[in-house]
A and B are shown apart, each in its own frame.
Chain A
Amino acid sequence: MSIELGHFALILAFAIATISTIGGYAFWRSGNRIALVLSQGAILQFILVAVAFAALIQAFVTSDFSLLLAVNNSHSLKPLIFKISGVWGNHEGSMVLWITILVAFGAMVAAFGRRLPSDLLTLVLATQSLLTAAFAGFTLFTSNPFARVFPAPLEGKDLNPILQDIGLAIHPPLLYAGYVGFSICFSFAIAALISGRIDQAWARWVRPWTMLSWTFLTLGIAMGSYWAYYELGWGGWWFWDPVENASFMPWLAGTALLHSALVMEKRNALKIWTVFLSIITFSLSLLGTFLVRSGILTSVHTFASDPTRGMVILSLLALVIGGAFFLFALRAASLRQGGLFAPVSREGALILNNLFLATAVGAVLVGTLYPLVLDALVGTTISVGAPFFNLTFGALMAPLLLVLPFGPMLAWKRADIVSAAQRLIGAAALAVFLAILISALGGVSISLAPIGLLLGFWVAFGAIAELVERSRLGRIPLGESMRRLIGLPRTAWSTAIAHFGIGVTVLGIVATTAWETELVTTLNPGESAELSGYTVKFDSFDQVPGPNYIADEGRFTIVAPGGSTRKTIADRRTYVASGIPTTEAAIETYGFSQVYLQLGEPLENTHVVRIWHKPYITLIWLGTILMALAGVLSLTDRKQRIGAPRRAARPVAEPAE
């Protein structure tokens, strides 16, 4: 019964979204009343889709195997958390999650956006409704998650064992919140194009949404990377696989958007570019969600792939993205351009940031789609792998990282590069010193390692230098400096922390790439192996039953260089329902470094064991967590509240709408 209720709720949400779209676009000039109707419509859509989503979750939790989706993706023995996350571990369910997040964002705009001008609010909500209608329609007509099966089987076929992991509970919701959050920026861009009005206030409304989505996306990608790292057992954390690229491109574009919206807010410039970036970022998000799912690109990470719907998905993408760019081409010229400015200035630096990020998006896009194009045109099958991306992306990021610390040091309008450089001398000297020292101690295994270290330290120390500079540390009494530091606007802290996080991530990437060690060996219980000062002792091997699997369990003792010992377990599981094996690596963290153990399939009582030592690898994800924290911090700044910012008590210099 609740299944039908859920199905009906989704149909109703689709209908309301359709009506909101038509009504919104037809009557956007009609003022507050239509805005109010669309706001209520947006909240109603959210409630209805939430009911539909809850119905699916309930069916999975109660193991209702009259629901086809539950039969294909669940099993009564599965732990509760995986029953819930199993809802979105497939195409149909993940569509419902996607739409749930979409309408949640729509409802948030409706709830927080009361201070928005009514025509802007109406157009934004109409565009959100259009997206809801399009994707709810797609779900209902081509991938109905509420299909029943009769007679109902007694047991489900279980979820792909690799997905039975806490990663599935966290990664897709975060990633989708990031992707879908950019729909708000997209809707604001469409609204600006239709109404022809775009100003600094517009940028102030868009920026918190960008920041929120960007924060989710940052965490989503980092979580996905860590999940693949520990679950796939390859010991790698990034493969430049199409699915990864698809999530990385909106992140790069979103990062650019954050910075260009800042220029627009402060200097009333880069308007058309910011609108363009808003459209591009969400388009890339759509591409990220659906292109890999259409079955056109092959990826090792794709689960919810269904080639039969490929054409429908592609048409939908072409319609949304193509329509937006058509509107952009038609209307962009009518938006009033802002002023120009000096190349050496804060806004000049932000443009440089946008230039490199946008070019990097282009390079990644070319590498991701090139095999498709070549296959279609020439019929040659190729793969564009890590070497391509490392070369092009690396070459584009190096100059960006090099100039990054200068950005926050430059003043708006016209800045002095020499004085900025003087204030960064300490950071530069420290970075050079540490890069040389570490390279000398660690040995230069790859020639680019010292440059990478230098860039990582430079960016991290540059961020600290910014805080030092603003608190006038060392030039005024310490207590006074501390007070200044605490009194800094949260956005200043957020900038410094985010940039520091980038430096940390870069350092993690460089350290683990340059100094990782690996050993593949045959090891039997009682024997031990040594790697980078760590002794790994294979204690015992047993077969142990789990809730819905049987595990071949290897118990190990790791003796660290300092003499501390830790016991750990690496196992291989065979899932009862599907017979699919998975490998669960043993990962032990020492400081920022990790020892990673993988157990091979036993062969006549001998065991192959693969051991990695990954120095400072956790810095990669710690850096991303810092970036996300910075995003949250910035959102708590009074000036950056979601929805319409309140007018400051004192009159603002630039006229607000």
Chain B
Amino acid sequence: MTMPAAVRKKGWSRKQKRLAIIAGLGVVLALATTLVLVALRDQIVFFYSPSEIVSRQVPVGQAIRLGGIVKEDSWVRTGETNDFVVTDGARDVPARFIGILPDLFSEGQGVVAEGSMGVDGLFTASNVLAKHDENYMPKEVVNALKASGEWRPEDAQ
């Protein structure tokens, strides 16, 4: 990021100085824009409901977010491994998370998990997003439930 040596030369006109500064600004802005666009293409994570996972053939291993409701009576803990089923009422996706789940994680509640699908159809979560508030229902989950016709507003509030 050092300035070109020529800039230090005396006798730069006002116009040249202005041009040098504008060129510098332009280069940084162009680089930043490129960076943002590349990152937006490669680094964003798509959100899927269980129905979409079944219908859209999500590539194995691709980082995604899965959102829905933790199916009743599906949460089984074996040591530090948690198995549960995420449902949107229409379809179910089995999921696994190793570690300690957030306090407000429970059956019948909304959940958003980050992770990827395995070849066996099991979703391995690397992170289960916590909520701070028992009333909070992720907007993505609400939309997914609406899409599958399972949305009952009185449950959420």
Known: A392-B32, A416-B8, A520-B80. A234 touches B132 (CB 8 A): no
A426 to B134 Cα, complex, angstroms: 55
Known: A232-B130, A383-B47, A388-B43. A598 touches B100 (CB 8 A): yes
Say which residue of A234, A298, A391 sits within 8 Å of B130 (CB atoms). A234
Say which residue of B25, B77, B102 sits within 8 Å of A603 (CB atoms). B77
- The answer to whether B7 and A160 have CB atoms under 8 Å apart is no
The binding surface of chain A is classed by DSSP as: mixed
- The answer to whether A351 and B103 have CB atoms under 8 Å apart is no
How many interface residues does chain B have, given as a range? 35 or more
Say which residue of B28, B79, B130, B139 sits within 8 Å of A355 (CB atoms). B28
Binary CB contact string for chain B from 71 to 105 against chain A (1 if under 8 A, 0 otherwise): 00000010110000000000000000011111110
Binary CB contact string for chain B from 58 to 77 against chain A (1 if under 8 A, 0 otherwise): 00000001000000000001
Asked if B29 is at the interface of the complex by the 8 Å CB criterion, the answer is yes
A173 to B100 Cα, complex, angstroms: 32
CB of A368, distance to nearest CB on chain B (Å):
12
Tell me the nearest residue of chain B to A522, going by C-beta. Answer: B79
A583 — which chain B residues lie within 8 A by C-beta? 100, 103
B47 — which chain A residues lie within 8 A by C-beta? 381-383
Binary CB contact string for chain A from 359 to 403 against chain B (1 if under 8 A, 0 otherwise): 100110011001000000000111111011001100110010011
Q: Which has the most chain A C-beta neighbours within 10 Å: B39, B47, B65, B139?
A: B39
Known: A348-B3, A362-B32, A384-B40. A521 touches B46 (CB 8 A): no
Known: A342-B7, A343-B17, A396-B32. A370 touches B40 (CB 8 A): yes
- The answer to whether A383 and B32 have CB atoms under 8 Å apart is no
Asked if B133 is at the interface of the complex by the 8 Å CB criterion, the answer is yes
Asked if B44 is at the interface of the complex by the 8 Å CB criterion, the answer is yes
Q: Which has the most chain B C-beta neighbours within 10 Å: A300, A381, A599?
A: A381
- The answer to whether A300 and B130 have CB atoms under 8 Å apart is yes
Say which residue of A302, A355, A388, A608 sits within 8 Å of B39 (CB atoms). A388
Asked if B143 is at the interface of the complex by the 8 Å CB criterion, the answer is yes
A472 to B39 Cα, complex, angstroms: 46
A300 to B35 Cα, complex, angstroms: 27
CB of A299, distance to nearest CB on chain B (Å):
9
CB of A150, distance to nearest CB on chain B (Å):
23
- The answer to whether B103 and A572 have CB atoms under 8 Å apart is yes
- The answer to whether B140 and A298 have CB atoms under 8 Å apart is yes
- The answer to whether A344 and B132 have CB atoms under 8 Å apart is no
A383 to B44 Cα, complex, angstroms: 6
CB of A300, distance to nearest CB on chain B (Å):
6
Asked if A113 is at the interface of the complex by the 8 Å CB criterion, the answer is no
A341 to B12 Cα, complex, angstroms: 10
Tell me the nearest residue of chain A to B139, going by C-beta. Answer: A298
Q: Which has the most chain B C-beta neighbours within 10 Å: A298, A366, A367, A520?
A: A298
- The answer to whether B21 and A300 have CB atoms under 8 Å apart is no
Q: Which of B1-43 contact A (CB under 8 A)?
A: 1-3, 7-8, 12, 14, 17-18, 20-21, 24-25, 28-29, 32, 35-36, 38-40, 43
A362 to B31 Cα, complex, angstroms: 13
CB of A535, distance to nearest CB on chain B (Å):
19
Asked if B129 is at the interface of the complex by the 8 Å CB criterion, the answer is yes
CB of B156, distance to nearest CB on chain A (Å):
12
- The answer to whether A582 and B103 have CB atoms under 8 Å apart is yes
A298 to B129 Cα, complex, angstroms: 12
A301 — which chain B residues lie within 8 A by C-beta? 132
Asked if B138 is at the interface of the complex by the 8 Å CB criterion, the answer is yes
B99 — which chain A residues lie within 8 A by C-beta? 520, 608, 610
Binary CB contact string for chain A from 605 to 636 against chain B (1 if under 8 A, 0 otherwise): 01010100000000000000000000000000
Known: A232-B130, A300-B132. A359 touches B40 (CB 8 A): no
Asked if A417 is at the interface of the complex by the 8 Å CB criterion, the answer is yes
Tell me the nearest residue of chain A to B12, going by C-beta. Answer: A342
Known: A402-B1, A606-B79. A391 touches B32 (CB 8 A): no
A380 to B44 Cα, complex, angstroms: 12
Asked if A356 is at the interface of the complex by the 8 Å CB criterion, the answer is yes
B130 — which chain A residues lie within 8 A by C-beta? 232, 234, 300
A232 to B127 Cα, complex, angstroms: 13
CB of A464, distance to nearest CB on chain B (Å):
21
A578 to B7 Cα, complex, angstroms: 67
- The answer to whether A610 and B100 have CB atoms under 8 Å apart is yes
A416 — which chain B residues lie within 8 A by C-beta? 8
A387 — which chain B residues lie within 8 A by C-beta? 39, 43
- The answer to whether B45 and A385 have CB atoms under 8 Å apart is yes
Given contacts A383-B47, A610-B99, 7 further A-B contacts (CB under 8 A): A162-B132, A298-B138, A298-B140, A343-B7, A381-B46, A388-B40, A583-B103
9 CB-based A-B contacts, threshold 8 Å: A234-B130, A300-B132, A342-B17, A351-B21, A355-B28, A359-B28, A388-B40, A520-B98, A580-B134
Shortest beta-carbon contacts, A-B, top 3? A381-B47, A600-B100, A387-B43
